[in-house]
Amino acid sequence: IKRIRTHHLREMKERGEKFSMLTAYEQYAAQTFDEAGIEVLLVGDSASNNVFANETSLPVTVDELIPLVRAVTRSAHRALVVADLPFGSYQASPEQAYLTAVRFMKEANAHAVKLEGGAEMAPQVRKLTEGGIPVMAHIGFTPQSEHNLGGYRVQGRGDAASHVIAQAKAMEQAGAFAVVMEMVPGDVAAEVTAAIGIPTIGIGAGVGCDGQVLVWQDAFGLRTGRMAKFVKQYADLHGVLLKAAQDYAADVKAGTFPAEEHTF
Ligand code: KIV
Ligand code: NA
């Protein structure tokens, strides 16, 4: 496959073959994850926290995200690159969603967009897909609605399970090509995955999803501090980078860098 496209993900679901998604916000991470065979790169609005040092995803703007999406689409030769629509850039109307999504497609060469919400976002999803823009949905815990959801908590427990299933079906019917489920009980996510034809991508949603996604700075240990239960740490990049910076500073202090071989 030269370029992963939305139909490839659907075919993988049909074959029972799992796929991976990671966030990416710039060139070298995007290139490396593409080289590793990660099928989908998401330029998440989590750049708000992980690039721009905000406390939540709410403040990040379309103008801030567009250069990041452009860097990732230039750097990834195989992965499908999805641009997250930030808070306030699509909720007002299908027209607003369309105009925002078109900016990501035209100015940053995005291959698809992602937005948060269920049945209430069906008009947006329909407008975009009919306008030629593939849409990835995002249900369960949706960080842009954190204040409405009463904080960072699992969605779809007990009686609320049927609501998550209905949201997923509404997104499939509206034309979404995949659906992210965040912090949903594993049995509910597996039920959703069996109930819809489009791929599900879990984050804190158990192993029963068709694909998985993590924020790379969390999974590879560039960020330190408290992690959500669903994060598995695959590397300690903070430790690697810290030691490299300390070694460099020590060499400079000692006068051992630059050495002869670094000097003209
Ligand atoms: O912005 C983001 O990183 C996301 C993923 C966690 C799904 O939406
Ligand atoms: Na997001």
pLDDT surpasses 90 at 13: yes
Per-residue pLDDT reduced to its tens digit, 18-30:
999 999 999 999 9
Task: Give the CA radius of gyration of the chain.
Answer: 20
Instruction: Identify which of 11, 228, 51 has the alpha carbon closest to the alpha carbon of residue 140.
Output: 228
Among 39, 172, 182, 191, the active-site one is 182
Q: Would you say the ipTM is above 0.95?
A: yes
pLDDT score for 99: 98
Which atom in ligand 1 lies closest to the alpha carbon of residue 180? 7
**Domain extent listing, the chain:** 6-233, 237-264
**Do the beta carbons of residue 41 and residue 72 sit within 8 Å?**
yes
Question: Which atom of ligand 1 approaches the CA of 23 most closely?
Answer: 3
Report, as an integer, the average pLDDT of 47-73.
98
CA–CA separation, 66 vs 85, rounded Å? Answer: 10
Task: List phi, psi (to 5°) of 212.
Answer: -130, 155
Q: Which residues contact 52 (CB under 8 A, 6 or more apart)?
A: 59, 60, 64
Q: What is the mean pLDDT of residues 195-202?
A: 98
Could you give the CA distance from residue 192 to residue 164 in angstroms, rounded to a whole number? 8
Fold of 6-233: TIM Barrel (3.20.20)
Q: Is the pLDDT of residue 151 over 90?
A: no
CA nearest ligand 1 atom 8, residue: 44
State the average pLDDT over residues 103-125: 98
Indicate if the pLDDT at residue 150 is higher than 90. Answer: no
The predicted-structure confidence for 64-113, as pLDDT tens digits, reads as follows 999 999 999 999 999 999 999 999 999 999 999 999 999 999 999 999 99
Residue 5 banded pLDDT, cuts 50, 70, 90: very high
Ligand 1: residue of 57, 72, 184 to mutate (most ligand atoms within 8 A of CB) is 57
